[in-house]
Amino acid sequence: MDIKKFFKTEFGGLKRFEAIGLLLVFAVIFVNAFFVKDSIVAVVSAVCGILYSTYAGKGKVVCYFFGLCGTFCYSYLSFVNGVYGNLVLYMCYYFPMQVAGIFEWRKHLKQETKEIIKKELTPVQKLKLGVFAIFACIVTIITIKYFHGSSPVFDGITTVFSVFGMYLTVKRCIEQWIMWMIVNSLSAIMWLNLILHGAKAYSTFIMWVVYFALAVYFYICWRKEISAKS
């Protein structure tokens, strides 16, 4: 394997403003971590998570390798802070789905750019997804309350929408970004509340805010690409 070509193919394709944006975000995370003595695990989780979202948005298979590292770090943070819905989600679902994503995406790559071929759900599929998601949210919230989780509503909704979001990511569907907008905004609020109550996870909060911005940005990018093919 040509290592140089591999790195150019997988890590290339970032626009200048995207690369500058990433550097600025990482600078904020590192400076913040230094001054507030943030958890090292939270910093690594944030960096890997942001790289995962960025390269998932660019349609690059390498995103899943960052995702796997971020999964282990975020699982630890969820356990320490009592966010058990997210803990189960990441270890029992995200990990195997990201491994599956590597193989699934490799089957649907554009020959010239090695980016995935993107698609959209049908109206009927969207309706079924919405109904099932609402039902799953109700069941999950009740379950987390039973086990005395720290944020049952936020934890329950983000857990369910993350399940659907990850599935849609592996299936290359644009609707994943709508799911991630909901998950990321609620997760940012949830972690801000935990920080206000003493949790040292500032980098994790910043990560979720950046995730939300990336979800909006890549939804617009994918919409333009899908519309251009129609």
Confidence of residue 4 (pLDDT cuts 50, 70, 90): low
Q: How far apart are CA 184 and CA 190, in angstroms?
A: 10
Where do the structural domains in the chain lie, given as residue ranges?
3-229
- Tens digit of pLDDT for each residue in 130-175? 999 999 999 989 988 888 766 788 778 888 898 899 999 999 999 9
More confident residue, 23 or 1: 23
Helix (H, G, I), strand (E, B) or coil at 166: helix
pLDDT above 70: residue 8 = no
89-118: average pLDDT:
89
Number of Cα atoms under 13 Å in the Cβ half of residue 217 = 16
69-74: average pLDDT:
89
Record the pTM.
0.83
**Angle at 199 (CA atoms; ends 35, 145), nearest 5 degrees:** 160
Whole-number pLDDT of residue 158 = 83
Confidence of residue 38 (pLDDT cuts 50, 70, 90): confident
Whole-number pLDDT of residue 79 = 86
Whole-number pLDDT of residue 33 = 83
- Tens digit of pLDDT for each residue in 189-208? 888 887 888 777 777 788 88
Number of Cα atoms under 13 Å in the Cβ half of residue 104 = 18
More confident residue, 89 or 99: 99
Helix (H, G, I), strand (E, B) or coil at 17: helix
Confidence of residue 125 (pLDDT cuts 50, 70, 90): very high
The radius of gyration of the chain's CA atoms, rounded to the nearest angstrom, is 17
**110 phi and psi, to 5 degrees?**
-70, 135
Q: Percent of the chain at pLDDT above 90?
A: 44
Whole-number pLDDT of residue 36 = 77
More confident residue, 74 or 178: 178
Whole-number pLDDT of residue 148 = 75
Q: How far apart are CA 86 and CA 66, in angstroms?
A: 18
